[in-house]
Amino acid sequence: MGLDIIYNDGQTPLDEDEKEGLLIQSIATRGELDEFEQQNIEDAIQWSLTRKFKSEQILSESFIQELHKRMYKNVWRWAGEYRKTNKNIGVDKLEIPVALRSLIDDAYYWLEDNVYKPDEFTIRFKHRLVSIHCFPNGNGRHSRMVADIIVENIFQQPVFSWGSKSLSNENESREKYLIAIRKADKGDFDLLLKFARS
């Protein structure tokens, strides 16, 4: 395949076999790929806005996979499928289902025992989800959309603004986001909580 993708800092490169999963063979540049993915993501956002979800639906492996599939199904054949290769980040490919189940179990505990306030609950869930890195690509965008669905449906709070700019391209917002993620990797969620509402 002729698609040569240039990756920004913090993006996970696709393996050649993952690139083979591209459904639109006419895509030749990163810009074209971004456009098609964004159109698909907007369809998924529209789908999510026309439904009300209960916590039992959202906090499930099937929902996590279904949402990723809805976000990328018109672009990638593997949309919604756990990655089959190891990356420079994330858990081992064989540990994805176990790590995700552990996150969901923890989230039920956090919810039932009111361990965290709504924003912190949601940001911690989002951070763990992106750290697991379930899918070959789109994990950051997916985890942010999951967070928006959680905060709106479970806690009846407004969705996050995420710096009010696209985080897919190199810009100041993306740099702030990556710094906040790296701090959260070390257990400090303050910057990520602030960024999510900026």
Q: What is the pLDDT of residue 170?
A: 67
- Asked if 196 contacts 147 with a C-beta cutoff of 8 angstroms, the reply is yes
- Where in the chain are the domains? 16-196
pTM listed for this prediction: 0.91
Closest CA to 1 of 29, 36, 40: 29
Confidence of residue 9 (pLDDT cuts 50, 70, 90): low
φ/ψ of 104, rounded to 5, equals: -65, -45
- Residue 140's identity, in one-letter code, is G
Tell me the average pLDDT of the chain.
92
pLDDT tens digit sequence for 127-167? 999 999 999 999 999 999 999 999 999 999 999 999 887 77
pLDDT tens digit sequence for 54-88? 999 999 999 999 999 999 999 999 999 999 999 99
CATH superfamily of 16-196: Fido-like domain (1.10.3290.10)
